[in-house]
Amino acid sequence: MSVLDNEPLMESELAEFIGHGELVPLLAALAHLTGDRRYLDLECRPRSVTVLGRPIAGASDDAALELAISGLKAISGSDPDFVGSTVDRELIEYLVGEPIDDGTEDMLRYQLGMPHDQGAPRWQASTSSDAGLSVAIIGAGMSGILMARRLDQAGIPYTVFERNADFGGVWYENTYPGCRVDTTNYIYSYSFATRENWTHDFSLQQAVRGYLHEVATEYGVDRNVRFGTELLAATYNEASCTWQLKLNGPDGPYDAEFSAMVSAVGQLNQPKIPDVPGLGSFAGPAFHTARWEQDVDLAGKRVAVIGTGASAYQVIPAIADRVESLTIFQRSAPWMEWTPAYTDEVKPGLRWLFENVPTYSQWYRAYQFWITADARRPYYTVDPNWDQPGSVSAENEELRQHLVSGLERQYQDRPDLLEQVIPSYAPYSKRLLRDNGQWAKTLHQPNVRLVSDHIEAIDEQGIRTSAEHVDVDVIIFATGFRASEILGPVDVTGTNGRKLRDEWAGDPKAYMGVAVPGFPNMFCLYGPNTNVVVSSSLFFFAESAANLVVSALEHLDKTGAGAVECTREALDQFVAEIDEASELTSWGASNESTWYKGASGRVSQNWPLRVLDYWSGTREFPLEKFQVLRPAVRDLEVAR
């Protein structure tokens, strides 16, 4: 069979199908396939748009469409595996719409997956090595599965310890109705395990969990995982340069020893229940969104949801129809970005392009990555001379006006609601939610009420605010997570008996989010300062961090050293740079209470620099930032 043979389409149908996808990556794919650079004609480049719908590059959508149709006709009937040219910088610059440097080119090649799986370690652990590397991975979610895959590729033995009964991490734990991603799955997926067959652009929780399970099984992680096993304590042994773990598994407590430990527990696994007076006195079911009680039937019940963040925004519309009444307790309103197709199924045209245009899905992924990567920086970067309340710069103000006009459109009949749903803080002080109109529709329902008064207490019957008492049958806490308490429940002890919880004191810091002084051979994925508010995907960040971990292990393997430990100077310098950059972001400048800030008030969770900076900083093992330790026993051997 050859390209387009099976479904010849009329020009109008082609145009419609093309409209379900993106023109820029389609033209790049056509130029790549045919080797014909005519498709890269900048006069005909479609416009790429940013958050405001403003073109950032390109000229003519109509001319681009014509060019794309002619291209699809040109490849019709050809061999589906043919590729007419190599991927060069001209092609990638076309995708981006502006000149790029070497680093950006590398990063986008990686996202393109040409060649496939560039993150795979290019070395194999030596079986005769004295290092005898073995790694404990804590957590079998997105990061843990990734780490396992990379170690397997490098030939390093590992065991994954997971407290839950299956793979998935947050996608296992969050089963609340309506739970889904807010980053399209074309980039919210591993670069080495991309999929074209998502049913939704923004998948529901079950699909993401299923994907993670599928990848873990495909790569054999299921053979090296201990489910139902919680890490209680981890102690670094300075003499042997090993980590000694105390675990509690299905058969009870046991000990294990590894040369390295990777925390893949992430940031969002410890639910935060606010300390409201009287909390324990409520007579009915009360639970957190991440601990959803499936056997509590909400039908016909008077339900309260506390919080209006990312989880609340998804769960509230999903349950509003079946409850008798729904009272939403809002402390501060969320900003939302208009995304009309947020809950829609993948459009047939996009599916058709994936099936019929070789390499299109790769160009599409790289394009999605790029337009959500650093293109939005001007909209959240602080202008120190800007003094208008509610925004941090002229661009941010422009975004604010754009978002406000979207809200005004949806609440024009309800000024009382409009007043409550317009946030007072600057956009991007928190992550924007995806707005397809479902929030406004739900708030308009007669059985739904938005309460913005301060919660004073909870009692047996319900919730008391500064203005009233609301009787309810069920309370749902959509109140977020204790994100800065990474590894909080685990007793982690590094060199000189130093405890990780004392080292961090509620304000976690790690070099590149990965390594901590005093804790040799301990590494974090989705560690401190690697969450993203605006850009890119956590998969990208985790893959970059995993690269740094694997390169550190490569150093151990090749040199026979016992451990590597990030120096205090390296961490201090890194944190100073991060903190300075954070102050120039909307979320860093904001006084809003967010999970982005640790106990000291500094932004401990988010990455404030460019996506490219994280990519560049994790490419190779930075030996100068680490000290190398050798086990005492080996020193003795050397001395003899």
Residues that bind ligand NAP (CB under 6 A): 181-182, 268, 274, 306-312, 314, 331-332, 431, 455, 478-481, 593, 595
Closest approach of Cβ 515 to ligand NAP, in Å?
Answer: 24
User: H/E element holding 416?
Assistant: helix 415-421
User: H/E element holding 576?
Assistant: helix 568-583
| CB closer to ligand NAP out of 87 and 265 | 265
Closest approach of Cβ 595 to ligand NAP, in Å?
Answer: 5
Asked, as a colleague might, if the bond just before 389 is cis with ω within 30 of 0, I would say no
Closest approach of Cβ 269 to ligand NAP, in Å?
Answer: 10
| CB closer to ligand NAP out of 145 and 312 | 312
| CB closer to ligand NAP out of 180 and 602 | 180
Q: Please spell the DSSP secondary structure of 202-271, one letter per residue.
A: S-BHHHHHHHHHHHHHHTTGGGGEETT-EEEEEEEETTTTEEEEEEEETTEEEEEEESEEEE---SS-SB
Using CA atoms, how far apart are residues 110 and 116, in angstroms rounded to an integer?
8
| CB closer to ligand NAP out of 74 and 279 | 279
Structure tokens at 141: 């979610």
Closest approach of Cβ 428 to ligand NAP, in Å?
Answer: 12
Closest approach of Cβ 484 to ligand NAP, in Å?
Answer: 12
β 626-629/225-226 pair status: unpaired
Query: In sequence order, what are the residues at sequence separation of 6 or more whose Cβ sits closer than 8 angstroms to the Cβ of residue 207?
Result: 185, 198, 199, 200
CA 145, distance to chain mean position in Å, is 15
Closest approach of Cβ 574 to ligand NAP, in Å?
Answer: 23
Q: Please spell the DSSP secondary structure of 86-149, one letter per residue.
A: ---HHHHHHHHTS---HHHHHHHHHHHTSSS-TTS-SS---TT-TT---EEEE--SHHHHHHHH
| CB closer to ligand NAP out of 245 and 433 | 433
| CB closer to ligand NAP out of 51 and 65 | 51
Closest approach of Cβ 267 to ligand NAP, in Å?
Answer: 8
| CB closer to ligand NAP out of 71 and 168 | 168
Closest approach of Cβ 560 to ligand NAP, in Å?
Answer: 41
Closest-by-Cβ residue to ligand NAP is 309
| CB closer to ligand NAP out of 153 and 537 | 537
| CB closer to ligand NAP out of 260 and 534 | 534
Query: In sequence order, what are the residues at sequence separation of 6 or more whose Cβ sits closer than 8 angstroms to the Cβ of residue 486?
Result: 263, 265, 266, 267, 504, 508, 524, 527, 528
Query: In sequence order, what are the residues at sequence separation of 6 or more whose Cβ sits closer than 8 angstroms to the Cβ of residue 443?
Result: 328, 411, 414, 417, 421, 450
| CB closer to ligand NAP out of 325 and 605 | 605
Closest approach of Cβ 307 to ligand NAP, in Å?
Answer: 3
| CB closer to ligand NAP out of 154 and 310 | 310
Closest approach of Cβ 79 to ligand NAP, in Å?
Answer: 40
CB atoms within 10 A of CB 591: 8
CB atoms within 10 A of CB 278: 13
Closest approach of Cβ 451 to ligand NAP, in Å?
Answer: 10
Beta pairing partners, 433: 336
Using CA atoms, how far apart are residues 389 and 422, in angstroms rounded to an integer?
14
